[in-house]
Structure 1
């Protein structure tokens, strides 16, 4: 019976370790809503291509924005001066399109 327990416990232990690793990865990653603020002002516009997403700040104030993609990923927060531009990743060959721009905190990256 002891030998049987060794064979049963290995798969159970492996499954438990795998599940724990997956859960830790999920808790370590910030949620999409925690990473963003409000929608970016309308005076902040973007143009996307397969390689780049260009963001232009047409506002009279400095803004910090992030880009949300269809796969749920967020770009790093970038601060753009009035009239300035920033370049983010494009949608790539797999069609990971931009779904919107949101304000963010450049100090925390959220």
Structure 2
């Protein structure tokens, strides 16, 4: 191997190693789903469109909810006062529909 090839292949190898380490970190990270609780009360409703998912707290108490999507992704936990609305991502052009709402702990970062 020539000296020039060694100089070129070393940065490529370092970049590949760094990328592999980043991917392992991302796949090993716990999902937000781990911090969700039970299904949200029936008085908490959602209305979805391709752009937005609007969640309304029709309960008499404050609730903390997270939105689950068909691809397994979870929206961050939001605290809703009685009568309050919150806006989350919609299903988009790829059809990532909401599968449900779950209670969550807003202090856990989920």
TM-score range, shorter chain: 0.7 to 0.9
* TM-score, L = length of structure 2: 0.77
Unaligned runs of 5+ in 2: 1-9
Give the match for residue 22 of structure 1.
Answer: 23
Consecutive aligned runs of 4 or more in structure 1 exceeding 6 Å deviation? 14-18
Unaligned runs of 5+ in 1: 1-9
Pair 33,76 (structure 1): closer, same or farther in 2 beyond 3 Å: closer
Give the match for residue 78 of structure 1.
Answer: 78
Give the match for residue 59 of structure 1.
Answer: 59
Structure (1 or 2) with the greater strand fraction: 2
Cα separation, 2, equivalents of 1:37 and 1:69 = 16
Q: How large is the Cα RMSD of the aligned pairs?
A: 2.3
Structure (1 or 2) with the greater helix fraction: 2
Give the match for residue 88 of structure 2.
Answer: 88
Q: How many residues are matched?
A: 103
Deviation by residue 1:30-71 (Cα, 9 ceiling, x = unmatched): 235413111101110000000000000011100010100011
* TM-score, L = length of structure 1: 0.77
